[in-house]
Structure formats: structure tokens, C-alpha cells
Amino acid sequence: MSTQTLLTPFSLHDLSLRNRVVMAPMTRGRAGRERLANALMAKYYGQRSDAGLIISEATTISPQANGWNESPGIYTDEMAEAWQQVTTTVHQRGGTIFLQLWHCGRASHSAFHGGAPAVAASAIKIEGDAIHTPDGKLPYETPRALETSEVAAVVEDYRRAAERAKQAGFDGVEVHGANGYLIDTFLQSKTNQRTDAYGGSVENRYRFLREIVEAVCTVWPSHRVGVRLSPNGAFNDMGSPDYYQQFTYVAEQLNRLDLGYLHVMDGLAFGFHELGEAMTLADFRGRFSGPLIGNCGYSPESAEAAVATGQADLIAIGRPYISNPDLVERIRNGYPLAEPAEVSDWYSPSGESGYTDFPTYREASSR
């Protein structure tokens, strides 16, 4: 299939993207115990800077937000300075990069917090496999529900993180509202049993996300802010009976904020909650008038079909980018994709192995 539409330039408001391929945010666990971006990460993102847009791996907004071993943070000036080597490298190669703002919520563990419980919308535990912690693999725990009086401080953490993202040289930020992390647990009835202003109705469950986005937009112009949602996802024990009502409402409300884009995980590669028909890009295209990004399980062929038919403006591609640093060139020339990386290497703190040591097609062919 031709990929001529996927590789055409796109105007993301005031940003000129060289193509419509987005490098999806993927946690890789290479930031070390200090959670500082480093030269190896700069090399990794630089290798993939021919994407139209890079969305960074999820980056925590505060110590409370941590919940993944050796993932990066953006809550100190030192962290912001460390990220500058990444943004500089990407920009030197003509790329555009947004930072994804993350709070793990209940998908964390007391081992990350000196024995204090993780926080969430409500005190509901993830039912599922154990979690990898600094103390090894441990069972999930019941989180502590955030007090109403604490919510404003978390919103402020997002705002300060957005400031540091600007200090670090990013082109914009994405608010991670997907995959069962803190914001998603506020959005969904399965995980939000609050009786205050942040729970109950679809309107109240949206309030936390709205306040975060509005706070971030005091730092960045709204067209430099994106939001990611996962309406179909079962990851981190998610999925609510009223998902369609909730996510259509959220899309309609976000549309009022003149955002840079809406990033929807419409694919089912992370698992499907099977509580009804899967929501499609069409469900969001009719409710969100700004740029729409599709994600989760797309191949170059299905990505081309989605943009060529107007279902999405851009498509985020994740796992193929791990072993194909030259993904856009491979798509342009019809080169075959490299074999997927071993899962054991995805999050390994083993340096270049499984991270920056994948050859381009031209390099592999010349060996």
C-alpha cells in the first residue's frame, strides 16, 4: 500500500511536522535511580527524530507520582536541565518533541514512597499481576484515596512540571490521562467511588482532568498541549460500564479548550475491556474538532489507511520504533521492518542493549 499520505507534512497549529508519523510514548526505564535523562536517552530519541512528532516516555511530575523503576522525572530543576540534552539532540536533527506528564496513581507501590501507600481517586486495588518495585516484584496494594483538600496540590504539581518542561526545551506537553494511571482512575466509574466534587457524575469525574489541563495551559498556549485517553483499555485493571458516555463527554469538553491534539488509544493491543462496542476514531472525530492522533497496534499500512481516509490526522506508532530507529525511512522506501525487540529488553536498565543498538536498514544491509 502507498504511504504517501502518512509521509506528507502536517501543520500542528504553529508547528510544522515533517510527516504524520508520531513516535508513541514508551516507558523504557533507562533514567537510573536518580530519574535523570541522560546521554543514552538523547541518543535514543535522536536516532528516531525523523518522526513528525515524538511524544516522550511518561515522565513523573512529583515524587508521589513515581511507580516505575528508573523512569525519568520532571519535578526538579536538575531533571529539567538533564532533559535539555534530549531536546537539543532532537531539535538539531530537525525533530519536534513533546513531554508526556505522568502520575502513576494506584499503579504504584509503597516501596516507591518510603512505606506510604500510593494514592488514587478511590481506595480500590488493581486486581492482577504483581508490580516491579525497587524491592523486587511485589503484589499490588490498596491505594489511599486522595483527600479533596489534596487535589489542588497535585494539580499544581502538573503546572510546575509543565513549567520545567518548557525550561527543558520541549515543544509542548501531553497530559497522560490513559492506561489506568491517576487521571484515568478519576475519569472512570470503576475506579472512582468518590462522593465529593470529583466523583459521581460524568461531569464530576472529568473535573480533575479539566483542572489539570487548565493549569498546564497557564504555562503553555493551549495549542501546545495534548491529552491522551484510552477508552477501550483494560490495562491496569480498567474498564467501566459507562465508558462510552464518559469518554464522549470528555472529548466534547476538551474540544472547548482549543488543545493541540487529542491522542486516543483506539486500538486493542493493550487489551479490551469488552464492555460493549470498542470506541473508534469516528466516535472522537465527531466530538473533537482539533487534530486527532490514533494509537495502539498500527502498522504502516493501517496507519496510512487511517490518515488517507480522514479517520485521524496523525498515527502514533510504538513497539516498531523500538527495533526500527529509521522507521520513517523504512516506510518511505518500502523496506521491511526489523524483528521486534525481546520483551526482556524493553525496560531493562542494561544500557545500549535493546535500546540504542538496533541498526538502520542501510546499516544492516551493508554488513
The answer to whether 118 touches 104, Cβ cutoff 8 Å, is: yes
The answer to whether 292 touches 229, Cβ cutoff 8 Å, is: no
The answer to whether 73 touches 109, Cβ cutoff 8 Å, is: no
The residue annotated as part of the active site, out of 45, 75, 140, 181, is: 181
Q: How many helices (H) and strands (E) does the chain have?
A: 12, 14
* Phi, psi (deg, nearest 5) at residue 86: -75, -50
Three cell numbers written together for 91 = 531539535
Give me the long-range contacts of 80-85 (CB less than 8 A, separation at least 24).
80/164, 80/165, 80/167, 80/168, 81/167, 81/168, 82/36, 82/37, 82/38, 83/37, 83/165, 83/168, 83/169, 83/170, 84/168, 84/169, 85/37, 85/38, 85/39, 85/41, 85/42
Q: Which residue has the cell 485493571?
A: 237
Q: Alpha-carbon distance 319 to 296, whole Å? A: 9
Q: Has 181 been annotated as catalytic?
A: yes
Beta strands 144-145 and 172-176 are unpaired
Closest listed residue to residue 154, CA positions, set 21, 62, 26, 289? 62
Strand partners, 59: 101
Q: Alpha-carbon distance 79 to 38, whole Å? A: 10
Q: Alpha-carbon distance 99 to 25, whole Å? A: 9
Q: Alpha-carbon distance 314 to 325, whole Å? A: 19
Q: Alpha-carbon distance 266 to 279, whole Å? A: 7
Task: Return the active site residues.
Answer: 181
